[in-house]
Amino acid sequence: MLKHSAKLGYLAKRTFSVIAAYKNFPLWFFDRLHILPRKKVLYKLRNGINFVAESNTLDCQFISEMFIDKQYTSLPGFEISSTDIIVDCGAHKGIFTTFAAKNAPLGKVISYEASPETYQSLVENLEINGIQNVDHFNSAVRLSDGTVNFYLAEDPGCSMIVPDKDFHHEPGSKGVITVTQVGFESIINGLSKVDFLKMDIEGIEFAILMNCSHSLLQKVKRIALEYHPEFGSLDALIEHLQGIGFQVSSWQERRLLYAWRESD
């Protein structure tokens, strides 16, 4: 009975939050319930931001996670300031990039998205929102520069780097392509500081953060990432980050990790 009441309470709260966030909120409900066919749609938020997206994908969920749940910025101290320098690794269609750019009008966002098709949606979303303080690149982020195999899933939110050419993709997917990759250290080397590092790179976060130069990570003030435990040990990553001066917290239900350095 208590669980049933709690679930009803959550659904009511979610309903009100969606109505409060979206001008065209019926679209969100139809989309989330998978009533709509796969097609291009335009989500209109009440804060004036719009997103070109695809129905019957994870897009509507990603928008809500950012603009309702604020999953990367909800932790105290993780609010984005007007002059922040933000790096977005795994930018998808530019949802967090747009959020960050709007909150840092005097700062800059540097965004990387590996999928060529998804990257074009990112560019389109920046254009329709009139955003100019973003440097964006159609590239994967890994340990070094080069190229890598990239799996194009049916739902773009599930696309990922694959280890070799023998990868067997799921039925209905678009197969495997070769994409450019840029080394994480070269990204950080090119910046005087990083106020906020966001990562959603389908498991590569472990290899990058565990192997990156400690001196380079000294430039990074805050990290918010989605971790993928099938690719590495969360406990080992937490221990590593704590060992080089970060404080760490996690939101395990969302598989999110937050790390930060105390201000001097």
Q: Where are the domains of the chain?
A: 1-64, 70-260
Whether pLDDT at 170 is above 80: no
Lowest mean pLDDT among 1-15, 65-79, 115-129: 1-15
222 beta partners = 260
Looking at residue 172, its pLDDT comes to 46
- For residue 256, what pLDDT is reported? 96
Looking at residue 183, its amino acid is G
Under the banding of pLDDT at 50, 70 and 90, the label for residue 35 is very high
Residue 158 pLDDT: 56
Closest CA to 118 of 57, 162, 35: 57
pLDDT at 171: 45
Lowest mean pLDDT among 1-10, 135-144, 166-175: 166-175
Cross-strand bridge partners of residue 148: 179
Mean pLDDT of 131-143: 95
State residue 7's pLDDT score.
64
pLDDT, tens only, 173-200: 457 777 889 999 999 999 999 999 999 9
How far apart are the C-alpha atoms of 99 and 62, rounded to whole Å? 12
Average the pLDDT over 210-237 and give the result.
93
Task: Give bridge partners of residue 260 from the DSSP assignment.
Answer: 222, 247
Determine the Cα–Cα distance for residues 42 and 157; give it in Å rounded to an integer: 17
Helix, strand or coil for residue 96? helix
pLDDT of residue 68: 96
pLDDT on residue 175: 72
Tens-place pLDDT, residues 48-78: 999 999 999 999 999 999 999 999 999 999 9
- Under the banding of pLDDT at 50, 70 and 90, the label for residue 155 is low
Report whether pLDDT(27) > 90: yes
Question: Is pLDDT of 161 > 60?
Answer: no
How much is the pLDDT for 66?
95
Both structure tokens of 26: 């019926």
**Confidence (pLDDT) at 3:** 58
The predicted pLDDT at position 156 comes to 54
| Distance (Å, whole) CA 11 – CA 29 | 12
Rounded to whole angstroms, how far apart are CA atoms 178 and 149?
5
Edge to edge, what strands does the sheet with 222-226 contain?
A: 134-137, 108-112, 85-89, 196-199, 222-226, 256-260, 247-251
Tell the CATH topology of 70-260.
Answer: Rossmann fold (3.40.50)
Contact 255, 226 (CB under 8 A): yes
Q: Mean pLDDT, to the nearest integer, of 24-38?
A: 94
pLDDT score of 220: 97
Q: What is the pLDDT of residue 152?
A: 67
The two three-digit tokens of residue 209, written as one number: 């953060």
Q: Which range has the worst mean pLDDT, 12-21, 25-34, 87-96, 144-153?
A: 144-153
